[in-house]
Amino acid sequence: MRNISVLGSTGSIGTQTLEVIRQNPDDFKAVTLTCGSNIDLLYEQILEFKPLAVSVNDEKKALELKDRLKNTADIKTEVLSGEQGVIDCATIPEADTVLGAIVGVAGLKPTYEAILKGKDIALANKETLVAGGDIIMPLVKKMGVELLPVDSEHCAIWQCLWGEKKENLDRILITASGGPFRGYSRDQLKDVTCENALNHPTWKMGGKITIDSSTMMNKGLEVIEASHLFGVEVDRVDVVVHPQSVIHSMIRLRDGSVLAQMGKPSMILPIMVALYFPDRGPRLLEEFDPFDPKCCNLTFEKCDTSVFGLLDLAYEAGRIKGFMPCVLNAANEAAVGAFLNGKIGFLDIEDTVRKVYEEFLPRNRSDNDLDDILGISREAFVRAGELIGK
């Protein structure tokens, strides 16, 4: 039995994690749950999973939830709130593994604190590694905990690497669906709407990552994420656009062997691989059928970075390092938020991120601690907001 803290339990990854826990009650227990503000769903989750504690980021909503739970005498769940509430949930002594499924850099501090308390981390929250990978990776090593990748591509790469010596890894080939605007020209992108961008061809995910997939920033973030997780420079990670999303990623070894991990696009499997590691869980998904027309015509193409410029900018940030990946991420979080709220157009996302990136570049520094990174992240987020407001 493994006790799991689910950070971001009301989101796309969070609810799928609870589905894995629901289906395997002898293997896992959800000991804490956290969310931003969706207390309606969190309330249902409390009744079902009876966690020891939950936390709601929005303080007012947390009070409302407390009130609602007064009528449920058999529920002993403690209700916490704010940033400290998430940290308390992530570091609760009863938890063995923390499943990080908060969206954005908001997941960084709770992840850091959980590692300090010796928890294993199953990580979906890629922004944590993009912004704070230089802090998180050495801490993982120092504390001797497991960092288990949940992002599907990284879970695939990780599985391909099992049993391989690190020095035999030549390149990582990370696959990308190409998003809803694959094949579009820059001109065609001028008029796309938020609704168009949210219509992802192969994956059903939260809003922020769906927009990131439509700009290809998601892949840029994932290239940086892979460089931290697998200890390679970003230039040893190639992006392969593969619209069917059947191959979840590949590695090429020294002798030229290429290994791939395949399956239907579903996050249930990566979540299970992480939670059951080093064992394997039962099969929850329909069996993979290689004769299914959706699975047998596999194609590969290059990403056109003259159209999707954020991918190149992410490579640049990954090469330069220091706090630039953090700046890139924060500016992107602000710009994507503004796009989702209808404040800016699609191409303004790239424009805003690039402007903030260029402004911060002359100040770039390495050897940042957690407070430096969180400070720069806030600053870049605010600066992006100012540029958007203009």
Residue 13's binding partner among ligand NAD, Mg ion, none (Cβ under 5 to 8 angstroms by kind) is: ligand NAD
CB of 240 to ligand NAD, least distance (A): 17
Q: In whole angstroms, give the CA distance from residue 273 to residue 149.
A: 9
* Dihedral sign, Cα of residue 135, residue 16, residue 314, residue 146: positive
Interface segment toward ligand NAD; rule CB under 6 A; list 72-80, 125-133, 157-165, 317-325:
125-133
Contact residues for 343 (Cβ-Cβ < 8 A; gap 6+): 388
Q: In whole angstroms, give the CA distance from residue 46 to residue 69.
A: 9
Interface segment toward ligand NAD; rule CB under 6 A; list 99-107, 223-231, 245-253, 346-354:
99-107
Q: Which is nearer to ligand NAD, 125 or 332 (CB)?
A: 125
CB of 63 to Mg ion, least distance (A): 36
Residue 35's binding partner among Mg ion, ligand NAD, none (Cβ under 5 to 8 angstroms by kind) is: ligand NAD
Quick check: 151 binds Mg ion (CB under 5 A)? Answer: yes
> In the window 159-178, what residues touch Mg ion (CB under 5 A)?
none
Residue 276's binding partner among Mg ion, ligand NAD, none (Cβ under 5 to 8 angstroms by kind) is: none
Q: Provide the 3-class DSSP secondary structure of residue 31.
A: strand
Contact residues for 149 (Cβ-Cβ < 8 A; gap 6+): 123, 155, 157, 158, 229, 270, 274
Quick check: 206 binds ligand NAD (CB under 6 A)? Answer: yes
Closest CA to 154 of 257, 212, 219, 225: 225
Interface segment toward ligand NAD; rule CB under 6 A; list 207-215, 286-294, 360-368, 369-377:
207-215
Residue 11's binding partner among Mg ion, ligand NAD, none (Cβ under 5 to 8 angstroms by kind) is: ligand NAD
Provide DSSP, 276-345: HTTS-----SPPP-TTSHHHH----B---TTT-HHHHHHHHHHHH-TTHHHHHHHHHHHHHHHHHTTSS-
Interface segment toward ligand NAD; rule CB under 6 A; list 33-41, 60-68, 138-146, 322-330:
33-41
Q: Which residues pair with 120 in a beta bridge?
A: 97
* One residue of 69, 147, 174, 209 binding ligand NAD per CB under 6 A: 209
Quick check: 260 binds ligand NAD (CB under 6 A)? Answer: no
Q: In whole angstroms, give the CA distance from residue 157 to residue 279.
A: 17
Quick check: 103 binds ligand NAD (CB under 6 A)? Answer: yes
Strands 28-35 and 2-7: parallel
Q: Provide the 3-class DSSP secondary structure of residue 167.
A: helix
Residue nearest to ligand NAD (CB): 11
Residues that bind ligand NAD (CB under 6 A): 8-14, 34-36, 38, 57, 86, 101-103, 106, 124-127, 151-152, 203, 205-209, 267
Residues that bind Mg ion (CB under 5 A): 151-153
